[in-house]
A and B are shown apart, each in its own frame.
Chain A
Amino acid sequence: MAAKTEVQQGTLALMILKTLEVLGPQHGYGIARRIEQISGEQLMVNYGTLYPALLKLEQEGCVRAQWGASENNRKAKYYRLTPAGRKQIAREEKQWAQTNAILARFLAPEGERS
């Protein structure tokens, strides 16, 4: 089993938002599973990180929560992206792209030289 790492601070919110953008309304477990899968099981999302992050997004108005029924008829809370959430994705994607590009310039020359 690959060593699983905790999610890096500040990245989880964007992952959650992106998941909701791709999958549509989703419950907490679904979001967690999806993040773990996409990360190639390298990330581990437990309650302690997921639910406070979801609450924060809800308070910021990026997502909205609603009780619904799951595939096998279990009562679950579904999170849905709001228009504000979509804007937030666009903003954060741009920021990440910039950060990545900057970091890449720091890291790339070393890689090329070797």
Chain B
Amino acid sequence: MRTLRKLAMRFAGLFRRGRRDSELAAEMETHLQMYIEDNLRRGMSASEARRQALIKLGGMEQTKESYREQHSVPFIGTLMQDVRYGLRMLRKSPGFTIVAVLTLALGIGANTAIFSIVDFLVLRPLPVERPGQVVYLTVARKGHGPHTAFSYPDFIDIQKQTANVFSDLSAVGMFVTDGLSVNGQSQPIWSSYVTGDFFRLLGLKPALGRLILPSEGSVAGADPVVVLSYAYWQSRFNGDPSVIGTKASVNGVPVTIVGVAPQSFHGLTSLVDFQGYIPLGMAATLKDIPTDFLEVRADSAIALVARLKTGVTMQQAQTTLSVVAQRLSQQYPTTDDKIALGALHLSPAGLATDPGSAETLPFMGSIFLMLAAAVLVLACMNIANLFLVRAAARQREMAMRAALGAKRARLVRQLLTESLLLALLGCVAGIILGLGGSTAASSIPLHTSLPIILDFHFDWRIFAYALGAAVLTGVLVGIMPALRASRSNVNEILHEGGRTSTAGGHRLRSALVTAQVGGSLMLLIVAGLLVRSLQKAQRTDLGFDPIHVMNLTIDPHEAGYDETHAREFFHTLLERAASLPGVQSASLATSVPMAYGGGDAAFLKIDGYEPPKGQENPGAGYNAVSPRYFETMHISLLRGREIRDSDTQNSQRVAVIDQTMANRFWRGQDPIGRRFTMTDNPSHPLEVIGVAKHAVANEIFSPDDPFFYVPLSQFYQPQATLQLRSAGAAEPMGREATDLIRSLEPAIPVFDVEPMTTALDTLNGFLMFRFAAALAASLGILGLILAVVGVYGVISYAASQRTHEIGIRLALGAQPTQILKMIFRQGLIIVGAGVLAGVLAAIAMARLVGNLLFGVPPGDLVTYVTASALLVVVALIACYIPARRAMRVDPMIALRYE
């Protein structure tokens, strides 16, 4: 207790120092006067009385000092002293301070901006109760990789048999768009279909009204309610609370809006902002799926999320799941033969439909964090260099302080305080820059009606990261010069007269700049590789021609149409659209290349083709299209015929396959007339009627998967994209076609109205390349700037240090060009060694980014040579300026210098 009190008073003492000092002075003055008075009373003369008193009482200043020490916490007292002194020093050389703070700000800014992106994509937990306990399940069926689609009967079985490890298990169907009509106005809504305990599992409370109840969702067609997301409620209904209880309709089926989900909750993925939640059972009436989907074990479409019971580990859950999987495969060999179940943490990356890709974002994130860290290291090196130069200049000051009795630790501490102060200033500036950077990144246009959120807002993690980076920088940057400065031999320096000594420091500085050149070259090369792969990706042959094609997506079921009416509608629409002025051809397709969520895919049984032993039936993607699709997309047909109006519901099922599929299954044979079946639709074999050139379908990354096209009339899907090829610009077609659809049926919402070129700029299209290239290029340019500043700084400092020497050389008859060469040689050695180091570092780094490259090998010679040349040229220009200055040195002035 007493020590605490003492400490508290001492801390308080820190802040009342001035007053304390003057009080003590007054008190001691009284003391002195009283003593003098006593002495006078004893009969001394006035001056003798004073003299005796002063002798006896001792030094006032020492007393004050020991009183002060007693009075406050010495450590903090000195710290404050150091901070004050450091701030004075920084103010004294504003040029140095500004350059250092700006350099640091760039480094820390780049880091925080990228960290904010990584934080959002990978680190920030979903806003649910105890997110660490929430997992989602994966299922791997015989011969296939794990995915997240389960059937409802499997869900029920798993739920019953895992009660020992999961306190809740809930199902959710995702990636569906519906049409929500309120007061006759229909707009698309991205909804999740969930079982009743979904919200209880996540521990969420409604922002308004109620959420889906545990009793809802398990009966087909029952519980016609919808819960809106907060953002959707805000944007469509302006946050009007009276919307609760409103009668609305989803895809023409009457429902009631019963509540609003909490503001922070965007659904279970980190990117998509789900707008509505509907009881799972309603899918039977709202969506075009079999009404008995809740009973069919083969129908896998729902994802499962679960909450681990408190204290249950992932291993325990896995053990239970393995037992369940074994039981399921024994009980249901037709559908669940040899299935394997797994669990993955839902947080922080969110539910990934393809668990394999769950690794991609963290991987990319760590690559870019590494690159950003490289920029920070470059910035640190620059500042370390500045500090070394300053330390050399302040050597005499340090020596003087040491001579006056300052301990070495004390000097180091003071210099460290200065560098930390600088780092903190840089940190503040960097956070401001980083905010700007992440705001810019947040506003990248994604070109999709899918509500993607890129919310790179700053939270405590980012501030902690920035602060950590700053402190680390401060210590790293400060410790070397501080140790050097404090180690120096006092005697030597004070005796050395005016000339500052440099030799050792210079070597260290050159090494630092060499490393800097290397680091910056590495960044440049990586950036170059990414930029080149973006160019390659954009120039790659897609197999179709996206220019002058306009897309419009509609779903007549969202206006309450049934299949028959929708087919009629599509038919009329195609006829009318084809006759729009400027339209060369019009067609419908159920999927657009590189769209989110991908297209359809099926497993195939192919006549005359045996899959390699031990492998399952092969899979292929497909697109259901209307006649004239190949004409609209400019996909060339190599053999056979394309899909025609004569391919109807009642005629033979047909397919146009692509080259890849033809080569895979009928290598060296004529595929026309051959047959295959989709395993989930065995009663309708398809006959191959044509072979088309391979066109990129889902992802630009995996262009070699087999693909085929089927008539939309034979494989009807309610949602389709109208595609129009025009002679001129595509954009005006969008407006005309929207008007046309409105005039045919005003209640149908039209979305994704965009030219094909824009539609390709998606996350699985070009966007990732663009994003990666832009990020890497910014980092590369930052690195280049920092390296140039470093080279310039070191060369010009070295040149200025050698002014004296240069003066002598010139006086002895050296030619200015020789001086130029001399300075240049120094620069060349640094740059040359740096380039060598940079190329080696780049080779290592390029191997890591190899996964992000497209069509460019990690060892792409063009990139390496271009980047190196760019760096060398810029660095030599940086050398030229100080070299020219040195060349013009006037020997007379130089010899008098210092």
Query: Which residues of A line the B interface, CB within 8 A?
Result: 27-30, 32-33, 44, 46-48, 51-52, 55-56, 58-61, 70, 72, 74-77
In the assembled complex, the Cα of A61 lies from the Cα of B8 at a distance in Å of 12
Query: Closest CB-CB distance, B8 to chain A, in whole Å?
Result: 9
| Inter-chain contacts of B19 with A (CB < 8 A) | none
Q: Is the CB of A74 within 8 A of B70?
A: no
The reply on B705 being an interface residue by CB < 8 A is no
Query: Closest CB-CB distance, B506 to chain A, in whole Å?
Result: 49
| Inter-chain contacts of A74 with B (CB < 8 A) | 30, 33-34
Given contacts A46-B63, A48-B59, A77-B30, 17 further A-B contacts (CB under 8 A): A27-B34, A29-B35, A30-B34, A47-B28, A47-B57, A47-B63, A51-B28, A52-B70, A56-B70, A59-B6, A59-B70, A61-B2, A70-B30, A75-B26, A75-B30, A76-B34, A77-B26
Q: A47-B60, A60-B5 are in contact. Are A55 and B70 (CB under 8 A)?
A: yes
Q: A52 touches which one: B37, B59, B60, B66 (CB < 8 A)? A: B66
Q: Is the CB of B27 within 8 A of A77?
A: yes
Q: Is the CB of A47 within 8 A of B31?
A: yes
The reply on B71 being an interface residue by CB < 8 A is yes
In the assembled complex, the Cα of A48 lies from the Cα of B60 at a distance in Å of 8
Query: Closest CB-CB distance, A52 to chain B, in whole Å?
Result: 5
| Inter-chain contacts of A28 with B (CB < 8 A) | 27-28, 30-31
Q: A55-B67, A61-B5, A76-B27 are in contact. Are A46 and B34 (CB under 8 A)?
A: no
| Inter-chain contacts of B693 with A (CB < 8 A) | none
| Inter-chain contacts of B56 with A (CB < 8 A) | 44, 46
| Inter-chain contacts of A58 with B (CB < 8 A) | 9
| Inter-chain contacts of B33 with A (CB < 8 A) | 74
Mask for B12-38, Cβ within 8 A of A = 1, else 0?
Answer: 000000000001101110110111011
The reply on B445 being an interface residue by CB < 8 A is no
Query: Closest CB-CB distance, B749 to chain A, in whole Å?
Result: 76
Query: Closest CB-CB distance, B29 to chain A, in whole Å?
Result: 9
Q: Is the CB of B70 within 8 A of A48?
A: no
Closest to A74 in B: B30
Q: Is the CB of A48 within 8 A of B58?
A: yes
What are the nearest 8 A-B pairs in CB distance? A46-B58, A29-B34, A47-B63, A48-B63, A52-B70, A29-B31, A59-B6, A59-B9
The reply on B681 being an interface residue by CB < 8 A is no
Q: Is the CB of A72 within 8 A of B37?
A: yes
The reply on B62 being an interface residue by CB < 8 A is yes
| Inter-chain contacts of A47 with B (CB < 8 A) | 28, 31, 57-58, 60, 63
Q: A28-B31, A59-B9, A70-B30 are in contact. Are A48 and B62 (CB under 8 A)?
A: yes
| Inter-chain contacts of A75 with B (CB < 8 A) | 26, 30
The reply on B809 being an interface residue by CB < 8 A is no
Q: Is the CB of A52 within 8 A of B67?
A: yes
Query: Closest CB-CB distance, B762 to chain A, in whole Å?
Result: 69
The reply on B10 being an interface residue by CB < 8 A is yes
Q: A52-B70, A59-B6 are in contact. Are A29 and B58 (CB under 8 A)?
A: no
Mind listing 22 A-B residue pairs with CB under 8 Å?
A: A27-B30, A28-B28, A28-B31, A29-B34, A46-B57, A46-B63, A47-B28, A47-B31, A48-B58, A48-B59, A48-B62, A48-B63, A48-B66, A51-B67, A52-B67, A60-B2, A60-B5, A61-B5, A72-B37, A75-B26, A77-B23, A77-B27
Query: Which residues of B line the A interface, CB within 8 A?
Result: 2, 5-6, 9-10, 23-24, 26-28, 30-31, 33-35, 37-38, 56-60, 62-63, 66-67, 70-71
| Inter-chain contacts of B31 with A (CB < 8 A) | 27-29, 32, 47
- Which among A28, A52, A70, A75 has the highest number of chain B CB atoms within 10 Å? A52
Query: Closest CB-CB distance, A107 to chain B, in whole Å?
Result: 32
| Inter-chain contacts of A70 with B (CB < 8 A) | 30, 34
- Which among A27, A44, A47, A77 has the highest number of chain B CB atoms within 10 Å? A47
| Inter-chain contacts of B6 with A (CB < 8 A) | 59-60
Closest to A62 in B: B2
| Inter-chain contacts of B71 with A (CB < 8 A) | 55
Query: Closest CB-CB distance, B456 to chain A, in whole Å?
Result: 50
In the assembled complex, the Cα of A75 lies from the Cα of B34 at a distance in Å of 11
Closest to B70 in A: A52
In the assembled complex, the Cα of A32 lies from the Cα of B59 at a distance in Å of 16
Closest to B30 in A: A76
| Inter-chain contacts of A32 with B (CB < 8 A) | 31
- Which among A30, A32, A48, A76 has the highest number of chain B CB atoms within 10 Å? A48
| Inter-chain contacts of A56 with B (CB < 8 A) | 70
Query: Closest CB-CB distance, B31 to chain A, in whole Å?
Result: 5
| Inter-chain contacts of B35 with A (CB < 8 A) | 29
In the assembled complex, the Cα of A27 lies from the Cα of B30 at a distance in Å of 9
| Inter-chain contacts of A61 with B (CB < 8 A) | 2, 5
Closest to A76 in B: B30
Query: Closest CB-CB distance, A98 to chain B, in whole Å?
Result: 21
Query: Closest CB-CB distance, A75 to chain B, in whole Å?
Result: 6
In the assembled complex, the Cα of A60 lies from the Cα of B56 at a distance in Å of 28
Query: Closest CB-CB distance, B457 to chain A, in whole Å?
Result: 47
In the assembled complex, the Cα of A56 lies from the Cα of B2 at a distance in Å of 11
In the assembled complex, the Cα of A70 lies from the Cα of B2 at a distance in Å of 31
Closest to B10 in A: A59
In the assembled complex, the Cα of A42 lies from the Cα of B179 at a distance in Å of 102
In the assembled complex, the Cα of A32 lies from the Cα of B28 at a distance in Å of 12
In the assembled complex, the Cα of A77 lies from the Cα of B31 at a distance in Å of 10
| Inter-chain contacts of B67 with A (CB < 8 A) | 51-52, 55
| Inter-chain contacts of B24 with A (CB < 8 A) | 51
In the assembled complex, the Cα of A44 lies from the Cα of B24 at a distance in Å of 20
Closest to B69 in A: A52
| Inter-chain contacts of B60 with A (CB < 8 A) | 47
In the assembled complex, the Cα of A70 lies from the Cα of B33 at a distance in Å of 11
Closest to A46 in B: B58
Closest to B9 in A: A59
In the assembled complex, the Cα of A69 lies from the Cα of B26 at a distance in Å of 13
In the assembled complex, the Cα of A51 lies from the Cα of B35 at a distance in Å of 15
| Inter-chain contacts of B10 with A (CB < 8 A) | 59
Query: Closest CB-CB distance, B14 to chain A, in whole Å?
Result: 13
In the assembled complex, the Cα of A107 lies from the Cα of B727 at a distance in Å of 120
In the assembled complex, the Cα of A74 lies from the Cα of B30 at a distance in Å of 7
| Inter-chain contacts of B62 with A (CB < 8 A) | 48
Query: Closest CB-CB distance, A37 to chain B, in whole Å?
Result: 11
Q: B30 touches which one: A29, A44, A46 (CB < 8 A)? A: A29
| Inter-chain contacts of A46 with B (CB < 8 A) | 56-58, 63
In the assembled complex, the Cα of A72 lies from the Cα of B36 at a distance in Å of 13
- Which among B30, B34, B57, B66 has the highest number of chain A CB atoms within 10 Å? B34
Query: Closest CB-CB distance, A73 to chain B, in whole Å?
Result: 11
Query: Closest CB-CB distance, A32 to chain B, in whole Å?
Result: 7
In the assembled complex, the Cα of A59 lies from the Cα of B38 at a distance in Å of 30
In the assembled complex, the Cα of A21 lies from the Cα of B9 at a distance in Å of 24
In the assembled complex, the Cα of A12 lies from the Cα of B2 at a distance in Å of 19
